[in-house]
Amino acid sequence: MTVTTCRRLPYPVHVGHGLLASLPSLVPELGRAHRIAVVTDDTVGPLYADRIAASLGEDRCILISIPPGEAQKSRATWAQITDALLDAQFGRDSLLIALGGGVIGDLTGFVAATYLRGIPFLQVPTTLLAMIDASIGGKTGVDTAHGKNLVGAFHAPAAVVADLDVVTTLPVLERVNGLAEALKHGVICDAAYFATVARTEITQADWHAIVTGSVDIKTRIVAEDEREHGLRKVLNFGHTIGHAVEQLMAFTVPHGACVAYGMLVEARIAIALGICDPSLAGTILRALSHVGLPADMPAVLTADVIVSATSGDKKSRGGVVEYALPARLGAMAGADLGYGIPVPRDIVIHALQQA
Protein backbone atom coordinates (compact mmCIF):
# COMPACT_ATOMS: atom_id res chain seq x y z
CA MET A 1 0.00 0.00 0.00
CA THR A 2 1.48 3.33 -1.13
CA VAL A 3 -0.06 6.42 0.44
CA THR A 4 0.44 10.08 -0.37
CA THR A 5 -0.59 12.19 2.62
CA CYS A 6 -1.14 15.94 2.57
CA ARG A 7 -0.82 17.50 6.04
CA ARG A 8 -1.26 21.16 5.13
CA LEU A 9 -4.63 21.34 6.91
CA PRO A 10 -5.37 20.47 10.57
CA TYR A 11 -6.48 17.05 9.29
CA PRO A 12 -4.66 14.69 6.89
CA VAL A 13 -5.76 13.90 3.35
CA HIS A 14 -4.63 10.39 2.38
CA VAL A 15 -4.54 9.33 -1.29
CA GLY A 16 -3.52 5.88 -2.51
CA HIS A 17 -4.58 2.38 -3.49
CA GLY A 18 -6.06 -0.19 -1.12
CA LEU A 19 -6.90 2.28 1.62
CA LEU A 20 -10.45 1.15 2.46
CA ALA A 21 -9.14 -1.90 4.29
CA SER A 22 -6.59 0.19 6.19
CA LEU A 23 -8.79 2.85 7.77
CA PRO A 24 -7.93 1.97 11.41
CA SER A 25 -4.19 2.42 10.81
CA LEU A 26 -4.68 5.66 8.87
CA VAL A 27 -7.16 7.35 11.20
CA PRO A 28 -6.39 7.05 14.95
CA GLU A 29 -9.75 8.62 15.84
CA LEU A 30 -11.44 5.40 14.69
CA GLY A 31 -9.73 3.47 17.47
CA ARG A 32 -10.96 5.93 20.09
CA ALA A 33 -14.60 5.98 18.95
CA HIS A 34 -17.03 4.01 21.11
CA ARG A 35 -19.63 3.78 18.33
CA ILE A 36 -19.30 4.30 14.56
CA ALA A 37 -22.02 4.94 11.98
CA VAL A 38 -21.24 4.39 8.31
CA VAL A 39 -23.51 6.73 6.35
CA THR A 40 -23.80 5.80 2.69
CA ASP A 41 -26.31 5.37 -0.11
CA ASP A 42 -28.01 2.33 -1.58
CA THR A 43 -25.62 2.25 -4.54
CA VAL A 44 -22.28 2.59 -2.74
CA GLY A 45 -23.17 0.74 0.46
CA PRO A 46 -23.40 -2.78 -1.02
CA LEU A 47 -19.98 -2.32 -2.64
CA TYR A 48 -17.90 -1.13 0.30
CA ALA A 49 -19.79 -0.78 3.60
CA ASP A 50 -19.37 -4.38 4.80
CA ARG A 51 -15.63 -4.27 4.13
CA ILE A 52 -15.25 -1.11 6.18
CA ALA A 53 -17.43 -2.37 9.03
CA ALA A 54 -15.42 -5.60 9.20
CA SER A 55 -12.14 -3.68 9.47
CA LEU A 56 -13.52 -1.56 12.32
CA GLY A 57 -15.35 -4.22 14.31
CA GLU A 58 -18.97 -4.87 13.40
CA ASP A 59 -20.09 -4.90 17.04
CA ARG A 60 -19.62 -1.13 17.33
CA CYS A 61 -20.75 -0.16 13.80
CA ILE A 62 -24.16 0.59 12.41
CA LEU A 63 -25.02 1.24 8.77
CA ILE A 64 -27.30 4.10 7.72
CA SER A 65 -28.16 3.94 4.03
CA ILE A 66 -30.28 6.37 2.03
CA PRO A 67 -31.37 6.46 -1.62
CA PRO A 68 -28.80 8.00 -3.97
CA GLY A 69 -29.16 11.44 -5.51
CA GLU A 70 -29.10 15.16 -4.78
CA ALA A 71 -32.75 15.08 -3.68
CA GLN A 72 -31.59 13.37 -0.47
CA LYS A 73 -29.41 16.34 0.49
CA SER A 74 -32.25 17.85 2.47
CA ARG A 75 -33.31 18.85 5.95
CA ALA A 76 -35.68 15.87 5.97
CA THR A 77 -32.83 13.40 5.40
CA TRP A 78 -30.69 15.25 7.95
CA ALA A 79 -33.49 14.64 10.48
CA GLN A 80 -33.80 10.99 9.45
CA ILE A 81 -30.09 10.33 10.04
CA THR A 82 -30.05 12.32 13.28
CA ASP A 83 -33.03 10.35 14.59
CA ALA A 84 -31.29 7.07 13.71
CA LEU A 85 -28.28 8.11 15.79
CA LEU A 86 -30.50 9.13 18.70
CA ASP A 87 -32.41 5.85 18.49
CA ALA A 88 -29.08 3.98 18.62
CA GLN A 89 -28.01 6.10 21.62
CA PHE A 90 -24.88 7.48 19.97
CA GLY A 91 -22.94 9.73 22.34
CA ARG A 92 -20.25 12.34 21.93
CA ASP A 93 -17.63 9.59 21.84
CA SER A 94 -19.08 8.41 18.53
CA LEU A 95 -17.84 8.98 14.98
CA LEU A 96 -19.53 9.10 11.57
CA ILE A 97 -18.05 7.87 8.30
CA ALA A 98 -19.26 9.55 5.11
CA LEU A 99 -18.94 6.79 2.51
CA GLY A 100 -20.02 8.11 -0.87
CA GLY A 101 -19.95 11.10 -3.16
CA GLY A 102 -20.47 14.78 -2.49
CA VAL A 103 -24.09 14.42 -1.36
CA ILE A 104 -23.18 11.89 1.33
CA GLY A 105 -20.14 13.91 2.39
CA ASP A 106 -22.01 17.21 2.71
CA LEU A 107 -24.99 15.62 4.45
CA THR A 108 -23.01 13.46 6.87
CA GLY A 109 -20.74 16.37 7.70
CA PHE A 110 -23.74 18.53 8.54
CA VAL A 111 -25.17 15.80 10.78
CA ALA A 112 -21.77 15.55 12.51
CA ALA A 113 -21.59 19.33 12.91
CA THR A 114 -24.97 19.52 14.62
CA TYR A 115 -25.45 16.20 16.43
CA LEU A 116 -24.89 16.80 20.16
CA ARG A 117 -23.37 20.15 19.07
CA GLY A 118 -20.65 18.39 17.12
CA ILE A 119 -19.02 14.96 16.82
CA PRO A 120 -16.12 13.86 14.58
CA PHE A 121 -16.56 12.41 11.13
CA LEU A 122 -14.39 10.86 8.45
CA GLN A 123 -14.65 11.57 4.72
CA VAL A 124 -14.28 8.46 2.55
CA PRO A 125 -15.16 9.78 -0.92
CA THR A 126 -16.10 7.26 -3.60
CA THR A 127 -16.38 9.57 -6.61
CA LEU A 128 -13.58 11.43 -8.35
CA LEU A 129 -15.41 14.71 -7.87
CA ALA A 130 -15.69 14.18 -4.12
CA MET A 131 -12.05 13.09 -3.82
CA ILE A 132 -10.65 16.21 -5.43
CA ASP A 133 -13.11 18.78 -4.18
CA ALA A 134 -16.18 18.17 -2.02
CA SER A 135 -14.50 16.12 0.71
CA ILE A 136 -11.82 18.75 1.43
CA GLY A 137 -12.37 22.03 3.21
CA GLY A 138 -14.95 21.38 5.90
CA LYS A 139 -18.00 22.75 4.11
CA THR A 140 -21.11 20.79 5.06
CA GLY A 141 -24.77 21.42 4.42
CA VAL A 142 -28.06 20.68 2.74
CA ASP A 143 -30.10 22.17 -0.07
CA THR A 144 -33.45 23.93 0.19
CA ALA A 145 -36.10 24.92 -2.33
CA HIS A 146 -34.34 28.29 -2.53
CA GLY A 147 -30.97 26.91 -3.62
CA LYS A 148 -27.99 24.63 -3.01
CA ASN A 149 -26.06 24.54 0.26
CA LEU A 150 -28.05 27.35 1.87
CA VAL A 151 -28.21 25.63 5.27
CA GLY A 152 -24.91 24.33 6.59
CA ALA A 153 -21.83 24.71 8.74
CA PHE A 154 -18.06 24.59 8.58
CA HIS A 155 -17.05 21.33 10.25
CA ALA A 156 -13.67 19.83 9.40
CA PRO A 157 -13.37 16.05 9.09
CA ALA A 158 -10.96 14.03 11.21
CA ALA A 159 -9.38 12.90 7.94
CA VAL A 160 -10.05 12.37 4.25
CA VAL A 161 -9.23 8.93 2.82
CA ALA A 162 -9.34 8.68 -0.99
CA ASP A 163 -8.87 5.12 -2.25
CA LEU A 164 -7.90 5.28 -5.92
CA ASP A 165 -9.01 1.68 -6.47
CA VAL A 166 -12.54 3.06 -6.33
CA VAL A 167 -11.90 5.49 -9.21
CA THR A 168 -10.96 2.71 -11.60
CA THR A 169 -14.35 1.05 -11.02
CA LEU A 170 -16.38 4.19 -11.73
CA PRO A 171 -18.32 4.52 -14.99
CA VAL A 172 -16.60 6.71 -17.58
CA LEU A 173 -19.26 9.41 -17.16
CA GLU A 174 -18.52 9.64 -13.43
CA ARG A 175 -14.81 10.08 -14.10
CA VAL A 176 -15.47 12.73 -16.74
CA ASN A 177 -17.76 14.52 -14.30
CA GLY A 178 -14.94 14.76 -11.76
CA LEU A 179 -12.53 16.25 -14.28
CA ALA A 180 -14.60 19.45 -14.36
CA GLU A 181 -13.45 20.34 -10.85
CA ALA A 182 -9.87 19.37 -11.72
CA LEU A 183 -9.92 21.75 -14.71
CA LYS A 184 -11.36 24.44 -12.44
CA HIS A 185 -8.45 24.04 -10.05
CA GLY A 186 -6.08 24.55 -12.96
CA VAL A 187 -7.84 27.69 -14.18
CA ILE A 188 -7.85 29.35 -10.79
CA CYS A 189 -4.38 28.43 -9.60
CA ASP A 190 -2.08 26.36 -11.81
CA ALA A 191 -1.74 26.58 -15.60
CA ALA A 192 0.59 23.56 -15.75
CA TYR A 193 -1.90 21.39 -13.86
CA PHE A 194 -4.68 22.58 -16.18
CA ALA A 195 -2.61 21.45 -19.17
CA THR A 196 -2.09 18.03 -17.56
CA VAL A 197 -5.81 17.53 -16.95
CA ALA A 198 -6.75 18.93 -20.37
CA ARG A 199 -4.60 16.24 -22.04
CA THR A 200 -6.21 13.42 -20.06
CA GLU A 201 -7.35 10.33 -21.93
CA ILE A 202 -10.11 9.07 -19.68
CA THR A 203 -9.29 5.36 -20.07
CA GLN A 204 -5.54 5.85 -19.48
CA ALA A 205 -5.50 8.63 -16.89
CA ASP A 206 -2.94 8.94 -14.12
CA TRP A 207 -5.50 9.25 -11.34
CA HIS A 208 -2.88 9.56 -8.63
CA ALA A 209 -1.40 12.63 -10.33
CA ILE A 210 -4.81 14.18 -10.95
CA VAL A 211 -6.16 13.60 -7.44
CA THR A 212 -2.99 14.66 -5.62
CA GLY A 213 -2.66 17.70 -7.89
CA SER A 214 -6.15 18.91 -7.03
CA VAL A 215 -5.68 18.06 -3.34
CA ASP A 216 -2.52 20.18 -3.30
CA ILE A 217 -4.29 23.16 -4.88
CA LYS A 218 -7.42 23.01 -2.74
CA THR A 219 -5.59 22.48 0.55
CA ARG A 220 -3.29 25.44 -0.19
CA ILE A 221 -6.31 27.69 -0.67
CA VAL A 222 -8.29 26.37 2.29
CA ALA A 223 -5.27 26.58 4.60
CA GLU A 224 -5.06 30.30 3.89
CA ASP A 225 -8.79 31.06 4.09
CA GLU A 226 -10.81 28.31 5.76
CA ARG A 227 -14.01 30.34 6.27
CA GLU A 228 -14.18 31.88 2.77
CA HIS A 229 -13.60 35.51 3.68
CA GLY A 230 -11.45 36.12 0.61
CA LEU A 231 -9.14 33.77 -1.30
CA ARG A 232 -11.30 30.66 -0.89
CA LYS A 233 -13.96 32.36 -3.01
CA VAL A 234 -11.87 31.56 -6.09
CA LEU A 235 -13.07 27.96 -5.71
CA ASN A 236 -16.54 29.21 -6.66
CA PHE A 237 -15.42 29.78 -10.26
CA GLY A 238 -18.01 28.18 -12.55
CA HIS A 239 -20.39 27.52 -9.68
CA THR A 240 -22.64 30.59 -9.72
CA ILE A 241 -23.95 29.74 -13.18
CA GLY A 242 -23.37 26.02 -12.63
CA HIS A 243 -25.48 25.81 -9.47
CA ALA A 244 -28.30 27.78 -11.13
CA VAL A 245 -28.41 25.36 -14.06
CA GLU A 246 -28.15 22.35 -11.75
CA GLN A 247 -31.14 23.48 -9.71
CA LEU A 248 -33.22 24.53 -12.71
CA MET A 249 -32.68 21.09 -14.24
CA ALA A 250 -33.82 19.47 -10.97
CA PHE A 251 -30.38 17.87 -10.59
CA THR A 252 -30.85 15.69 -13.67
CA VAL A 253 -27.64 17.13 -15.16
CA PRO A 254 -24.42 16.03 -13.38
CA HIS A 255 -22.67 18.59 -11.20
CA GLY A 256 -19.50 18.41 -13.27
CA ALA A 257 -21.36 19.14 -16.50
CA CYS A 258 -23.03 22.17 -14.88
CA VAL A 259 -19.69 23.46 -13.58
CA ALA A 260 -18.11 22.95 -17.00
CA TYR A 261 -20.78 25.10 -18.63
CA GLY A 262 -20.52 27.60 -15.77
CA MET A 263 -16.77 27.97 -16.25
CA LEU A 264 -17.18 28.78 -19.92
CA VAL A 265 -19.91 31.36 -19.26
CA GLU A 266 -18.04 32.96 -16.38
CA ALA A 267 -14.83 33.17 -18.43
CA ARG A 268 -16.83 35.04 -21.07
CA ILE A 269 -18.20 37.34 -18.37
CA ALA A 270 -14.64 38.15 -17.29
CA ILE A 271 -13.62 38.82 -20.89
CA ALA A 272 -16.62 41.12 -21.39
CA LEU A 273 -15.60 43.06 -18.27
CA GLY A 274 -12.12 43.52 -19.72
CA ILE A 275 -10.40 41.78 -16.80
CA CYS A 276 -9.46 38.51 -18.50
CA ASP A 277 -7.17 37.25 -21.24
CA PRO A 278 -9.51 37.02 -24.28
CA SER A 279 -8.11 33.61 -25.23
CA LEU A 280 -9.18 31.90 -22.00
CA ALA A 281 -12.72 30.97 -23.06
CA GLY A 282 -11.36 29.15 -26.10
CA THR A 283 -8.76 27.37 -23.98
CA ILE A 284 -11.45 26.17 -21.58
CA LEU A 285 -13.74 25.13 -24.43
CA ARG A 286 -11.03 22.99 -26.06
CA ALA A 287 -10.23 21.30 -22.75
CA LEU A 288 -13.89 20.53 -22.06
CA SER A 289 -14.29 19.09 -25.53
CA HIS A 290 -11.21 16.87 -25.21
CA VAL A 291 -12.20 15.27 -21.91
CA GLY A 292 -15.84 14.87 -22.96
CA LEU A 293 -17.58 17.58 -20.92
CA PRO A 294 -20.48 19.53 -22.45
CA ALA A 295 -20.26 23.26 -23.04
CA ASP A 296 -23.83 24.04 -24.07
CA MET A 297 -26.78 25.48 -22.20
CA PRO A 298 -29.57 22.89 -21.78
CA ALA A 299 -32.04 23.54 -24.60
CA VAL A 300 -34.99 23.94 -22.24
CA LEU A 301 -33.40 26.92 -20.45
CA THR A 302 -33.04 30.56 -21.43
CA ALA A 303 -30.50 33.16 -20.40
CA ASP A 304 -33.15 35.14 -18.50
CA VAL A 305 -34.25 32.09 -16.52
CA ILE A 306 -30.68 31.23 -15.54
CA VAL A 307 -29.86 34.78 -14.45
CA SER A 308 -33.01 34.90 -12.34
CA ALA A 309 -32.02 31.62 -10.68
CA THR A 310 -28.65 33.05 -9.64
CA SER A 311 -30.40 35.58 -7.39
CA GLY A 312 -30.71 32.94 -4.67
CA ASP A 313 -26.99 32.21 -4.69
CA LYS A 314 -25.35 32.35 -1.27
CA LYS A 315 -22.60 34.55 -2.70
CA SER A 316 -25.02 37.47 -3.15
CA ARG A 317 -24.23 40.71 -1.31
CA GLY A 318 -26.78 43.49 -1.00
CA GLY A 319 -28.98 41.78 -3.56
CA VAL A 320 -26.16 41.69 -6.14
CA VAL A 321 -24.65 38.37 -7.22
CA GLU A 322 -20.86 38.22 -6.94
CA TYR A 323 -18.74 36.08 -9.25
CA ALA A 324 -15.29 34.52 -8.92
CA LEU A 325 -13.71 35.46 -12.25
CA PRO A 326 -10.39 34.59 -13.90
CA ALA A 327 -7.74 37.03 -15.08
CA ARG A 328 -5.85 34.44 -17.13
CA LEU A 329 -5.11 30.74 -17.03
CA GLY A 330 -3.79 30.01 -13.53
CA ALA A 331 -4.77 33.31 -11.90
CA MET A 332 -7.95 34.95 -10.67
CA ALA A 333 -9.07 38.58 -10.81
CA GLY A 334 -10.60 40.68 -8.06
CA ALA A 335 -8.13 40.33 -5.19
CA ASP A 336 -8.96 43.91 -4.18
CA LEU A 337 -12.64 42.92 -3.93
CA GLY A 338 -12.01 39.76 -1.93
CA TYR A 339 -12.41 37.71 -5.11
CA GLY A 340 -16.13 38.47 -5.30
CA ILE A 341 -16.90 40.63 -8.34
CA PRO A 342 -20.40 42.11 -8.85
CA VAL A 343 -21.55 41.77 -12.46
CA PRO A 344 -24.37 43.68 -14.22
CA ARG A 345 -27.25 41.51 -15.37
CA ASP A 346 -26.88 42.44 -19.05
CA ILE A 347 -23.27 41.25 -19.10
CA VAL A 348 -24.30 37.86 -17.70
CA ILE A 349 -27.14 37.50 -20.19
CA HIS A 350 -24.84 38.29 -23.11
CA ALA A 351 -22.30 35.70 -21.92
CA LEU A 352 -25.04 33.09 -21.58
CA GLN A 353 -26.26 33.81 -25.09
CA GLN A 354 -22.73 33.26 -26.42
CA ALA A 355 -22.19 29.93 -24.72
Give dist(CA 24, CA 75) in Å, integer.
Answer: 31
Q: Which of 236, 266, 268, 322 is catalytic?
A: 236
220 an active-site residue? no
86: number of Cβ within 10 Å: 11
Give dist(CA 78, CA 82) in Å, integer.
Answer: 6
Q: Which of 232, 233, 268, 322 is catalytic?
A: 232
139 an active-site residue? yes
149 an active-site residue? no
Q: Which of 177, 255, 266, 322 is catalytic?
A: 255
228 an active-site residue? yes
Region of 224 please: left (phi>0), alpha (psi -120 to 50) or beta.
alpha
224 an active-site residue? no
Nearest to 236 by CA among 288, 197, 181, 291: 181
Q: Which of 14, 35, 175, 243 is catalytic?
A: 243
Give dist(CA 143, CA 127) in Å, integer.
Answer: 20
Q: Which of 149, 239, 246, 266 is catalytic?
A: 239
243 an active-site residue? yes
239 an active-site residue? yes
117 an active-site residue? yes
DSSP notation for 103-121 = HHHHHHHHHHHHGGG---E
Q: Which of 70, 228, 246, 266 is catalytic?
A: 228
Q: Which of 181, 246, 266, 322 is catalytic?
A: 181
Q: Which of 139, 148, 184, 268 is catalytic?
A: 139
Sign of the CA dihedral with 181 first, then 201, 13, and 140 last: positive
Give dist(CA 212, CA 207) in Å, integer.
Answer: 8
Q: Which of 35, 155, 184, 218 is catalytic?
A: 218
Could you give the residue numbers annotated as active site?
A: 117, 139, 181, 218, 228, 232, 236, 239, 243, 255
